[in-house]
A and B are shown apart, each in its own frame.
Chain A
Amino acid sequence: MPKLDLTQHVFSVSEYLDLVNELLVSAKLTVQGEITELKIGSQWIGFTLKDKDDSSLLKCVLGGWQYKKLGVKLEDGMEVKVTGGPKVSKKWGSLGYWVETIEPLGEGSLKKAYELLLKQLKAEGLYDRKRAVPEFTKRLAVISSRDGVVIHDLRKNLLSLGYKIDFLHANVEGAKAVEGIVGAIEQFNRKTKGSDTSVYDVLVIIRGGGSLESLQAFNNEAVCRAIFASQIPVVVGIGHEVDVPIACLVADASASTPTGVAHIINATWDALYEGLPRLERQIDYSFSRMLERLQSETTLRLRTIENYFERIFNRFNRLEQIVQNAFTSIYRGIEVMSERVLSIERLLTTVSPERNLKLGYSIVFNSLGRVLKEVKDAKIGEQITTRLSDGEIESTITSN
């Protein structure tokens, strides 16, 4: 295909501007200047960058959504550094610079941007909401630079309480910092979205100390709003000199060092350390009381049982005594009975006629067979019978 000779070609205005814009793509460079004629509309933000040496002017424009995303508060007079590219507007025929990034430059501008955002977010109440870092925090979402030492400081100062740490790298300085930090905050929050219980107890954003310029990302509106929008309570640990980074004010808790952040997180376990001895005492006291009560009840029951058996034993003793008495009575009865038998035996021995006859006694009967007991009953001539032990003798009374 033959090469088009541009010098011989006649362009329409539109074609020409298209060509110019195409050529200008390569002019995507960084420009520095002072903001003038700042106009903030609902859809577009426009300003003119003025060269401080010769007052040269460059018209700049950016979309409202992009301005919000960049998170930098602008004001006339601020020295800024912008990146983007030039483009000729076909509608207006003027050259404009389409801004992609803006960074305030110099102490004054940075301070100005800081003050503006500080004031605005305060007015919106973003510093007022402080959520408590959950008690017994265990799951940590950490955003920091993988190249810094702060993450190591944080790990080193966290107590051995079984923390689970998920880490996301983000540049904490430079042009990509804001995008990286906001992206990481959103990424961690996405894990929690739709879940009744949060995946993380706390979101930690840390970086080391730095100048106002190097800490721009933490004085950035987009970052601050992302922190405020986080469903997970946020603890920010950023080293700073004079001005507290606005991110620290928006966060639920903040410290100036990673060690400070570690202390905040460790402190969520204080309730355990403080409460444990109290609970220990409480348990000890309650348990002792319970034991005492048990002991007292046991003693009472034991006393009841003892009383019961005492009554039984007393009754038994009484019965035993009765039995003993009965034994004595019976024994006495046997003795009395034996004595009586012996006494009767002795009586029978005495009264036994057979025995008396054998002893030499005899019995005399008259003729009528009656026993003669006295001499006056004996009549002369009467026939009498005398009984001896072995027989009888018949005789007649001759005298008395």
Chain B
Amino acid sequence: MPAKKTDIKQSLKELEAIAGWFESQKELDVEEGLKRVRDGVALIKDLKECIKEVENEFKEIKKELE
């Protein structure tokens, strides 16, 4: 079963939300913070792969045009 294709736009939105959550917190919620960090790391991992793929594909296309 092929891996679910990451939706960059959506992932970025989620990641921005996590970052925003941390920046807005006055009280520390360790568990929630931990959960969000884990979610954020997972998103970051997917996004990095995704961005790398996009970048490579982009470079290939550009090379074809040149």
Contact = CB atoms under 8 A, between A and B. Distances in A.
Given A344-B44, A348-B19, A334 B55 contact: yes
Interface string A313-354: 000000000010001001100100110110011011001111
B18 A344 contact: yes
How many chain A residues sit at the interface, stated as a range, is: 20 to 34
Interface in B1-38: 8, 12, 15-16, 18-19, 22-23, 27-28, 30, 33-34, 37
A371 interface: yes
A370 B29 CA distance: 10
A112 interface: no
Given A347-B22, A348-B22, 19 more contacts: A327-B58, A331-B58, A334-B51, A334-B58, A337-B8, A341-B12, A341-B15, A341-B44, A341-B51, A344-B15, A344-B16, A344-B19, A344-B40, A345-B40, A347-B19, A348-B40, A348-B41, A354-B37, A363-B28
A348 B44 contact: yes
A216 B42 CA distance: 141
Contacts of A347: 19, 22-23
A84 to B, nearest CB: 122
Contacts of A345: 40-41, 44
A387 interface: yes
The 7 closest A-B pairs by CB, nearest first: A353-B30, A352-B37, A344-B19, A351-B22, A348-B40, A345-B44, A353-B33
Nearest to A365: B30
Contacts of B19: 344, 347-348
A327 B16 contact: no
Contacts of A363: 28, 30
Interface of A: 323, 327, 330-331, 334, 337-338, 340-341, 344-345, 347-348, 351-354, 363, 370-371, 387
The majority secondary structure among interface residues of chain B is helix
A353 B54 CA distance: 32
A334 to B, nearest CB: 5
Contacts of A354: 34, 37
Given A337-B8, A344-B18, A344-B40, A352 B34 contact: yes
Select the residue from A327, A337, A351, A363 with max chain B CB neighbours within 10 A: A351
A341 B65 CA distance: 29
A347 B41 CA distance: 11
Nearest to B62: A327
A330 B33 CA distance: 33
Contacts of B62: 327
B18 to A, nearest CB: 7
A391 to B, nearest CB: 13
B56 to A, nearest CB: 10
A106 B34 CA distance: 163
A307 B19 CA distance: 56
A334 B59 CA distance: 12
B48 to A, nearest CB: 6
A330 B15 CA distance: 20
B19 to A, nearest CB: 5
Given A334-B55, A363-B28, A371-B28, A341 B18 contact: no
A330 B27 CA distance: 39
Nearest to B37: A352
